[in-house]
Amino acid sequence: MFFDHGYFMGGMHAFWWVFWLILVLVVAYTVWSPRQRSQRPDSESPHELLQRRLAKGEITPEAYEQAKALLDRDSGKH
Is the domain of 3 the same as that of 33?
yes
pLDDT at 58: 92
Is the domain of 51 the same as that of 72?
yes
Instruction: Give the domain range for residue 24.
Output: 1-40
Q: Contact 68/54 with Cβ under 8 angstroms?
A: no
> In order along the chain (78 residues), what is the average pLDDT of each group of 10 residues?
56 79 92 66 81 92 93 75
pTM for the model stands at 0.43
pLDDT at 24: 95
Distance between CA atoms of residues 14 and 25, nearest Å: 17
Domain count, the chain: 2
Query: In the 8-state DSSP scheme, what is residue 3?
Result: B
Is the domain of 32 the same as that of 61?
no
Is the domain of 48 the same as that of 35?
no
pLDDT at 22: 95
pLDDT at 14: 75
Is the domain of 33 the same as that of 64?
no
Report residue 51: phi and psi, to 5°.
-65, -40
pLDDT at 61: 93
Crossing angle of helices 46-56 and 61-75, rounded to 10°: 180
pLDDT at 2: 53
Is the domain of 20 the same as that of 52?
no
